[in-house]
Amino acid sequence: MKRLNMYLDRLFEDLPNSEQTVKVKEEITRDLEEKVADLIEEGKTEEDAVNKVIVEFGDIEEIKREMDLPQNTFNRKRELARINLNFSIWGSALIIALAVFINFY
């Protein structure tokens, strides 16, 4: 089970230590430990059961996306502000260039 806990710690290390993250991690830990116990009851060794559970669980990217993390929201707003600034600069440059072009011809 140590290996399972280390695996989950590694998956959750880049997430903030918020109440929501802790609850999700505890729920996933409980579910995976139950799955390991079920596999052990079916006759698998603990190592095989843990390996199978880890492989079946896969990645938590979808869970990360579903969790509305404030940091992600901040990064998203920052990215949108940067894009808006770029469009404003390029739009202004285009309007100025068109005005200059029209005045010369």
For 4-43, write each residue's pLDDT tens digit: 889 888 888 877 788 888 898 899 999 999 999 999 999 9
Residues contacting residue 52 through CB under 8 Å, at least 6 positions apart: 39, 44
pLDDT at 12: 83
The tokens of 44 are what? 């698998």
Distances (CA, A) of 25 to 5, 9, 22, 105: 10, 9, 5, 67
Asked if 53 and 39 touch (Cβ cutoff 8 Å), the reply is yes
pLDDT tens by residue, 35-89:
999 999 999 999 999 999 999 887 777 777 777 555 566 677 889 999 999 999 9
pLDDT at 60: 78
pLDDT at 100 over 80: yes
Residues contacting residue 28 through CB under 8 Å, at least 6 positions apart: 8, 57, 60, 63
Asked if 32 and 51 touch (Cβ cutoff 8 Å), the reply is no
The C-alpha torsion from 81 through 83 and 86 to 90, rounded to 10°, is -130
